[in-house]
Structure 1
Amino acid sequence: MTDEQLVERMADGDQAAFEVLIHRYHGPLLGYLERHLYNRERAEDFVQETFLRLIRQLKKGRLPEQIRPWLYRVALNLCRDYWKSLGFQNEKQQIAETPDRRDEGPSVVEIYERQETRKEILMSLHELGELQKEIIILRFYQDLKLHEISEIMEIPLSTVKTNLYQGLKRLRSRLIQEGVQIRHKKEGENTYA
């Protein structure tokens, strides 16, 4: 059953359709929000708020045309609103006031293990511009299509494509500088870090 069919059934009061939709998107949305917020509890709250906003939309009789981009756009907007909030600014200030710890540097084994993990790639991602980082996360971590990313970010498809290409190029270059092994698919196919 498609997402849109589930939403139509939800609008008609079908609780099972709502549970299927939550089961389908809770995990991906949670992962997406955790990458942005670095706080699982807040990410859980934002996932819940995303679904609540969907219910409110349905009660008003407004069904989103494509549910997946709509859910991610709502989640992203919740993050943006939070980053503008006074609570976030206070948290940021408290972190800035925390005394610096001496960098003891990881061992060679720890460096190797860290470079082989998604965490290392995510850390490198955060050195990209916000737009490029967001597009790469939506494309490769959330497995969204380029036209869906265009809808979520509310930017032209050509801008998504350009920033995806440039972001991947910068990410690859950054990872090579750090010594992370780049895996190549068969010749003639795309290269992924």
Structure 2
Amino acid sequence: MQDEEYMQQLSLGIDSAFDILVFRYHKPLFGYVYRLLHDEKLAEDIVQETFLKIYQQGKKGFVPDQFKPWMYKIATNACKDYWRKPMSRLEYITDKDMEGTGQIHHIIDHQIERQWMVESLNQLSVDYRTVLYLRFYQDLKYSEIALALDISINTVKTRIARGLKQLKTILRADERKGAKGNG
């Protein structure tokens, strides 16, 4: 069944349809939000908030034309709300610091190249970083990205092109630094 059909079932009171959507999208949505916020606890909170809004809208009878872009739009807006609230950042940093004491750090399961790419992407502006994550990590089409971010397809294309150009510059600069450091 399509995601929109599950939303239709949810609007009819069939809560198990929502469980299927959560199962289907929790991991990719968490990955997207985590890449934007760089904080596991906060990313999980945003994902839960996103699914709560999806559930509430479904219970009210709302069925989006395209579920996936709509879901990413909710999550992106929740991230933007977080960025607008400076106090919440301090709360999460404090929580994270408190959690981290006495714990063994996670072993990074990504290759060095992947970490290098993510670090390079993080140097981009939020606008460029967001479209690149949605396109290349979440595999959304341009039209879906436009819906998710509430921008035109031409703006999506422009941001992807400019983001990739800036990313190329960043990667080349990093390569030069690495060559100088090893030589």
- Shift of the alpha carbon at 1:129? 2.1
Separation in structure 2 between the aligned mates of residue 71 and residue 59 of structure 1, nearest angstrom: 15
Write 1 or 2 for the structure with the bigger share of helix: 2
- Shift of the alpha carbon at 1:175? 1.1
Is the contact made by 2:121 and 2:167 (CA closer than 8 Å) also made in structure 1? yes
1:101-140 equivalence runs, <5 A: 116-140=112-136
- Give % identity: 41
**Alignment match, 2:154:** 158
Separation in structure 2 between the aligned mates of residue 139 and residue 124 of structure 1, nearest angstrom: 16
Amino acid at match of 1:166: R
Q: 1:93 to 1:12 in 2, by over 3 A?
A: closer
- Shift of the alpha carbon at 1:92? 9.3
Separation in structure 2 between the aligned mates of residue 168 and residue 129 of structure 1, nearest angstrom: 12
Q: How big is the alpha-carbon RMSD for the aligned residues of Structure 1 and Structure 2?
A: 2.2
1:59-74 equivalence runs, <5 A: 59-74=59-74
Q: Which runs of 5+ in 1 are unaligned?
A: 95-113, 181-193
Matched, 1:23 2:23: yes
- Shift of the alpha carbon at 1:21? 0.8
Which protein, 1 or 2, shows the higher relative CO under an 8 Å CA cutoff with sep ≥ 6? 2
**Alignment match, 2:35:** 35
**Alignment match, 1:3:** 3
**Alignment match, 1:171:** 167
Amino acid at match of 1:84: R
2:62 partner SS: coil
- Shift of the alpha carbon at 1:91? 5.5
1:179 partner SS: helix
Separation in structure 2 between the aligned mates of residue 172 and residue 116 of structure 1, nearest angstrom: 18
Separation in structure 1 between the aligned mates of residue 34 and residue 172 of structure 2, nearest angstrom: 26
**Alignment match, 1:79:** 79
Amino acid at match of 1:147: S
Q: 1:86 to 1:176 in 2, by over 3 A?
A: closer
Q: Which runs of 5+ in 2 are unaligned?
A: 95-109, 177-183
Amino acid at match of 1:172: K
2:13 partner SS: coil
